[in-house]
Chain A
Amino acid sequence: MRSLTCDVLVIGSGPAGLAAAYEAKKHGAEDVLLLERNDELGGILQQCIHTGFGVREFGEDLSGPEYAWRWIARARSADLRVLSETMVLGVDHSRRVVASSRALGLVEILPRALVLAMGCRERPRGALAIPGSRPAGVFTAGTAQRLVNIEGYMPGERYVILGSGDIGMIMARRLTLEGAQVVAVCEILPYISGLRRNLVQCIRDFDIPLHLCTTVTEVRGRDRVESVIVSRVDEQWRPIAGTRQEIPCDTLLLSVGLVPENELTRMAGATIDPATGGPVVDEGHGTDVPGIFAAGNVVHVYDLVDDVSAAARIAGRSAGRYVRQGAPEAGQRIRLRAGENVRAVVPQILGLAALEEGPVVLQFRARHPVEGPVRAELVMGEGAGARVLLSRRHRYVRPAEMVTMSLPPALAAELAAAGDSARDLAVRIIE
C-alpha cells in the first residue's frame, strides 16, 4: 500500500474542507493535503446553483458553484495538495487514514493533524417510516437537486414535498422553473424548518401551497408514485382522524432534516454529542482525540454556508497550530450545556486559556420559536438561583436560525475565580 505523510489532512473539499485547508496552511502547516471523493472540489456547493452564498465571506451574493470557485482559487493560490476521486475507507485514533481511488488504489495517509470535513447527509424516507407502498419516485430533495442541476434529468412532473427544509423549498422553486408542478409542501411542525427568505422567495413568490401541521401518512402507487395521503397532525405529531386527503402526484421529495456525517469520526474514536449528531468539540473545534479537528457541518448543521466557512477556519487554524506547537495548554476546561429552549451548544468544551487569548463564539439553536423579544443567557448553576454571566437580547428566535453569543476574554478571569462552580455552564433562551 502506498503511504503518504503530510502536516494536515483534510477529508472533504466542500465549503468546510476548503476553508479549513486554506486556513491550516495560513497558520503554519507547510504541507496540507485535501481529499475529495468527487472529481471536482466544492462538495455539495456544485449542485446549489441558486444564489444566497457569500454575502458575509465575500460581500457579494453568489451562486454555490461561484462560491466554491472563489475558495478553490484561494486553495490553488495557497499551494495545497489535492487528491480528488479518493474516498476514505477508515480512520483510527492515531490519525492513520486509509483511502481508495481508481488512480492510486489503496493509500495510507499519516498526517500530523487531521481535519474532518465530511459535511452532512439527508434523512431518507426510511428514517420517517412512512407507511404505504415502495414505488419509484421518492427522493430526498438533495438527490433530486443533483439529478436536475448536475445530471440534467427531471425526477418527475408533479411533486409533493414533505418537509420545509431549505433544500426542499429551493427545489420547489427550481422544479417550478423547469416546468414541473409542485402541488404541496407539507410541514409537520407549526412553523417552517428552513429560512424565512426561502419561504418568501421560493414558496410564496411561486404560489406554492404550504401546509403546516401536516404530514404524509401514506405513499401509494405500484411502479411509480401515484399519490400520497396527507393528514393534519396534533401537537404530538399524531395524524388527526378525518383529515386524510389524497393528493395525486408522481414524486415525493423529502426535505426532513440533515444529519452530520460522522461515520469516520466514530471510527476515529471521538465522542459524539447525541444532541448535535457531531463530535464534542472545544473552542478550537478540536475533538477529544488529540490532533483530530472537525470543521463545519460535521460538528452541527449550519443554515448558511458562510458560517460553515467561518467555523471551518477555526478548525483549520487549530490544526495548523497543533502541527506547529502541539496541543495548547488548555487550562481550566468548562463544560457547556443546553439549558431551557436550547437544543445544543457548540463548542461543548471551553478552555479558559483560549478564552483569555480572544473571544469565543457559542453557537446554538432554539428548540421552539419565540416571535418576540427574548434573551439568550449564559448561566452558572440551576433554576432560580442561577447566576447570569452574560445576557443578550434578540428580537426573536427560530429553530431554523442559529443563535450566537460571543464570550469576551474578560469573562475568563471571572470564571477562573469561580473555580469548581464554573465547571458546568448552561446556555438558555428565556422570554
Chain B
Amino acid sequence: MYDVIIIGAGVVGAHIARALSRYRLRILLLDKATDVGDGTTKANTAIVHAGYDAKPGSNKARLNVAGNALFEQVCGELDVEFDRCGTYVVGVSEEDRATLEDLYRRGRQNGIRGLSLVGGPEMRSREPGITESVTGALFAATGGLVDPFALCYAAAENAVGNGAELLLETEVQGFLREDDAVVGVRTNRGEFRSRWTVISAGVHADDLMRAAGLDGFTITPRKGEYFVLDRAARAQVRNVLFPCPTPVSKGILVTPTIHGNVMLGPTATDIDDKENLSTTPEGLNEVLTGALKLIPGLESRQIIRSFTGLRASGSTGDFMIDAPKERPGLLILAGIESPGLTASPAIALEVVEMLREAGLELQERAEYVPLRRGIPRFSQLSPAEQEALIARDPRYGRIICRCETVTEGEVVAACHGAIPARTYDALKRRTRVGTGRCQGGFDLPLVLEIMARELGLSPLEITQKGGASNIVVRRTKEVAE
C-alpha cells in the first residue's frame, strides 16, 4: 500500500516525488517509458521563463513566477547547470513596439522584476548578429537556461535516493476504485494500491482522466519542431531571442543552450496522434525561416540535429491542478505546457500543500537529504580537477565522445546511477555522449561495448530507446534464416 502513486516521471512528476520524499510516505513513481523524462520533458525549448506572457491571475502566471524564483535553490541542491542569463523578446516593427509594451505591463502585473525595454540600437550592440529591422526588445533578467532532462533526472534520482520507488516501463491501464474513490492503479505489471494517485502524464493526462471517469478536459498535442546547431553557431548568437508572440505560441526563437549549442524552434501545429514525434519538411522549413528573421547570418550547414516535442495543450488554456471532489484520492495535473518546466518545482510544492490540506499526514523524515551530486562532467572541470579524477579512476582519462569530450568514466557512472542508463538515448541524455557534431558516428561502437559490459548484456540487447529499437541485429557470419 502506497501513500502516493505518481503517474508520469516527467519533470513535474519527478519534482512531486522529490517534494514528497522529504516526508514519511511510501511513494511510487510510474512511467510507461524506459526512462524518466521521456515525453515533453526531453524535447522542449529548455528555457526558464520569466513569466511576462501568462495571463495575470492564471495558474500559469502564478506558478511560473513562483517556480522561476526556485531555480537557484533547486538546481544548486540537485547539481544541475542553470544560467540565469536573461531573455529577450525582439520587436521588428512599429506594431511590435506596442506588443513589447503590453508584455512589459503584463509582466509587471505578474510581479516580475528585472524587466526593461531596450531600444533598437542598444539591442544591436547587445546582439550584433540581429536583424537590421530590430526596433526594440523586452529584456527579462530573470529568464534563464537549463537542461530539462538533467533537471528531471536529478529530481527523480534525489527522490529515489530518499526512498521513493520508481518503476519504468509500467503503463497505467486503469484505476482501482472503491465507489467514487480512486484507490490505486492497474498496470501491465500488476495492481498497486495507494491513498492518493497523482496524474502528471503530460499529453496523456486527459486519457487517464477519462479512464477515471472524468470528462470535460481534453489535451491536444501541439507539435513543436526544432533544429540544434553546432557549437560554432554560438559565434552568431549571444542571447535568448524570442520574436513577438502570437496567440498560439511564443514563436520561433533562437537560443543558446546550456550546453553551448544553438537551438531554433519550435513550430506550433496541433495534431491528433500523441505518439507522432516526426519532423516535417514544412515544419523544419518554418523553423529555419523564422530563425533567420531574427539572426539572418545563421547557416543551415551548422544544423546537427532536428527533433520534435509535443506540448500538452489543455482545453482551458491554463494549467489544471485539481483534486476533484467526485473522485476522492485523485489529484490531476493536466495541460502543463509552457511554462511547465519553469513552474515544475512550484507545482510540486503546491501539490504537497493540496495533499496536506486534504488530510495526508506529512511528517518530516530526519534522514531526508535534499542534496544530490551528478556524474562528474569531465569537459567542465579544470585541468587540476580532471587530473584528480583520472588519478582516482583512470577511466575518466579515456575520451569516448570526441565532439563533447565525454569519458568512459562518465559512461560507466551513468550505467550504474540510481536510475541507470539502460538505452543509448538514456546514456546520451545523462552524459551528452553522441550529441555533438558527429552525432554518435565515433562513439556509438565504443558505447555499445561499454554498455554491454557494464549492464551484463550482449550488444545485441542494447537498444536506442527501448522496445524493438535494437542497434545491431546479429553477429556477422550468421546469415538469418
Contacts and interface: CB of A to CB of B under 8 A. Distances in A.
Interface stretch (A97-105, A202-210, A309-317, A373-381): A97-105
B182 to A, nearest CB: 31
Interface in B461-481: 463-477, 479-480
A122 interface: yes
Given A89-B405, A103-B394, A127-B304, A156 B473 contact: yes
A122 B441 contact: yes
A105 B390 CA distance: 6
Contacts of B283: 131
Contacts of A155: 471-473
Contacts of A85: 398
Given A101-B397, A102-B398, 17 more contacts: A89-B399, A89-B405, A102-B395, A105-B386, A105-B391, A106-B383, A106-B397, A124-B438, A124-B439, A124-B441, A126-B306, A127-B304, A143-B442, A143-B445, A153-B476, A157-B473, A223-B464
Interface string A159-172: 00000000000000
A146 interface: yes
B470 A136 contact: yes
A51 B373 CA distance: 51
Contact of B440 (A100, A143, A239): A143
A153 B398 contact: no
A127 B475 contact: no
Interface of A: 1, 37, 85, 87, 89, 98, 100-106, 121-122, 124-127, 129, 131-136, 139-140, 142-143, 146-148, 150-157, 178-179, 217-218, 220, 222-224, 239, 250, 263
B444 A132 contact: no
Contact of B398 (A98, A101, A131, A250): A101
Interface stretch (B5-13, B18-26, B184-192, B272-280): B272-280
B384 to A, nearest CB: 8
B449 interface: yes
B139 interface: no
A129 B303 contact: yes
Contacts of A135: 464, 469
A131 B306 CA distance: 8
A67 B275 CA distance: 49
A179 B284 contact: no
Interface in B192-216: none
B413 to A, nearest CB: 15
B438 A122 contact: yes
A139 B387 CA distance: 34
B2 interface: no
Contacts of A126: 228, 303-306, 439
Interface string B384-407: 001100110011011100110101
Nearest to A151: B445
B441 A37 contact: no
A224 B470 contact: yes
A80 B277 CA distance: 52
A217 B281 contact: yes
B301 interface: yes
A178 B284 contact: no
**Secondary structure type dominating chain B contacts:** mixed
Contact of A152 (B280, B405, B476): B476
30 contacts: A37-B402, A100-B386, A100-B397, A104-B397, A105-B390, A105-B394, A121-B442, A124-B437, A124-B439, A124-B441, A125-B305, A126-B303, A126-B304, A126-B306, A129-B303, A131-B278, A131-B284, A140-B441, A143-B445, A150-B445, A152-B476, A153-B460, A153-B472, A153-B476, A156-B473, A157-B474, A157-B480, A179-B480, A222-B467, A223-B468
Q: Which of B278, B460, B477, B480 has the most CB of A within 10 A?
A: B278
A106 B476 contact: no
Contacts of B383: 1, 98, 106
A151 B441 contact: no
Contact of A178 (B403, B405, B476): B476
**Secondary structure type dominating chain A contacts:** mixed
A131 B460 contact: no
A129 B227 contact: yes
Nearest to B449: A151
Contacts of B465: 136, 223
Nearest to B231: A263
A133 B277 contact: yes
Interface string B291-315: 0000000001101111100000000
B459 interface: yes
Contacts of A129: 227, 279, 284, 300, 303, 306
Nearest to B391: A105
Contacts of B403: 263
B341 interface: no
B281 A131 contact: yes
A134 B277 contact: yes
B448 interface: yes
B475 to A, nearest CB: 6
B408 to A, nearest CB: 8
A367 B242 CA distance: 39
B12 to A, nearest CB: 24
Interface string B412-442: 0000000000001000000000000111111
A148 B475 CA distance: 8
B137 to A, nearest CB: 29
A106 B304 CA distance: 30
B397 A121 contact: no
A224 B471 CA distance: 8
Given A134-B307, A153-B476, A223-B469, A142 B441 contact: yes
A134 B279 CA distance: 9
A153 B413 CA distance: 25
A103 B395 CA distance: 9
B402 A136 contact: no
Given A126-B305, A143-B440, A153-B474, A136 B386 contact: no
Interface in B219-260: 227-228
